[in-house]
Structure 1
């Protein structure tokens, strides 16, 4: 097992950390109610990515990502300035990162892996992607939507585990994943960062570099590689992008839960790293 090639080998190998200074900052916007705060924000200098309906908030997103079952009437109109990223475009990047089975088949994660691999950012910040669905509250900026990430899905048994995996994958690829959200709760385990901190581009690039080179960053990458080796040798023979064949398979579910538990072991390291990042940003 120690010699197994993993998705993390590809992430680290294609984008050496020395190239970080030439990479961009990405904002990835979801549809939680707080996305409306972006309506009048100055996003100059950011590569702005909208997931599903978030493009309705403003007309200057650079990319709009949506799945094939996204209703035609909800898609951007013809002539929209941003590039449309369809399922066929992002799934190949998700497949290279481990497949839906291990990456998690909800759009925040799909768009995240696509952005890390395709846009190669120094920093990728998620906004309105907290995946909190309280029964009595509006779940989306347009009202009460379908709680897609909370449906009974083999790939989403632990959103926190899947977000820890995405954080580690981004770090291996030379990107620092953060959460721009100001909501008190989130299923994302990323470090919190105020959006305005991205105005100091050179300083934040240094923060991103330091995060990966820190003891906690190295511990995260070492642990991630060990867990990725588990993923590379599953006790079943199924294309990770076609996980439906495993629905109802108790042994597969047990294995995936074991993998999730390994990813969750990264969370204390991410929290420690988050504290260091917060102190560094506060001192800027």
Structure 2
């Protein structure tokens, strides 16, 4: 849990909320969003708020699940926009080929947030007969058999580093008992009191010199493996990707994890 150091300051933080479809995503309806600059809804999550700012979805998101109309202030983000931005952060193979990470990297590059919040993005699917998503049962996309998703925690750790190097703090609003995201938890009350001093104090822990050196070693491994496909369609190149290479890289990101 994030511990606050100071009282809020006048200068507001650019806070972006990345909203997924886990069951607790419905909590967004009761949250005070007045300090949230932008809401990025992933796939079906646009149903939870009428005033979302961005809807991001993959190419195969069914037409019947997309909004039939939108406000002038709302933008739909597709592969035409997010592939180029994802490539700026090393591409999909290293970032992890599922929309929670794709949305986060797009937001990081396009919206340049100071704080990136996550709700409904825990990527935990219990086989307990309960609904897997806020709308009922759905596909557990992050758990599919995909060479880029061998460790969701490692991919979250990598995202944490790239965000911090852009002076962006990643926080998890989830109240679920477990999460594949490795970011600190924050509740609505603490979020409302988050100051720029708090923001900088937490970032310093991630961007300390020894942490950066370790992260650079991870990135060197990525460059050496060279699994970079500018189209974003890495699944068309699976015969060129060694899963053991990615497992080794994941292990390094896990070792770096804050």
> What is the TM-score normalised by the length of structure 2?
0.88
Q: Closer, same or farther in 2 for the Cα pair 1:218/1:60, shift >3 Å?
A: farther
Cα offset for 1:219?
3.3
Distance 1:153 1:131 in 2: 15
Task: Give the aligned CA root-mean-square deviation in angstroms.
Answer: 1.9
Hey, what does 1:62 align to over in structure 2? 53
In the alignment, does 2:249 pair up with 1:259?
yes
Mapped to 2, the partners of 1:28 and 1:215 lie a distance apart of: 21
Q: Is the alpha carbon distance of 1:154 and 1:196 closer, same or farther for their aligned partners in structure 2, counting shifts above 3 Å?
A: same
Structure 1: state its 5+ residue gaps.
Answer: 1-20, 271-284
Q: CA deviation at 1:78?
A: 1.5
Stretches of structure 2 that go unaligned for 5 or more consecutive residues are 1-10
What TM-score, normalized by structure 1, do the two folds share? 0.80
- Name the counterpart of 2:187: 194
The ranges of structure 1 where at least 4 consecutive aligned residues each deviate by more than 4 angstroms after the TM superposition are none
Match of 2:108 among 116, 132, 137: 116
TM-superposed CA distance for 1:45, in Å, is 2.4
Q: 1:157 — aligned with what?
A: 150
In proportion to residue count, which structure has more helix?
A: 1
How far is the alpha carbon of 1:62 from its aligned partner? 1.1
Shift of 1:246: 4.7
Matching of residues 86-125 of structure 1 within 5 Å: 86-125=78-117
- CA deviation after TM superposition for structure 1 residue 216, in Å: 6.8
- The separation in 2 between residues aligned to 1:182 and 1:215, in whole angstroms, is 23
Q: Return closer, same or farther for 1:238/1:128 CA change in 2, 3 Å cut-off.
A: closer
- Residues 156-194 of structure 1: CA deviation (Å, up to 9, x unaligned): 011010010001110111101111101010011111111
The match for 2:120 among 119, 128, 135 is 128
Q: Which residue of 1 aligns with 2:164?
A: 171
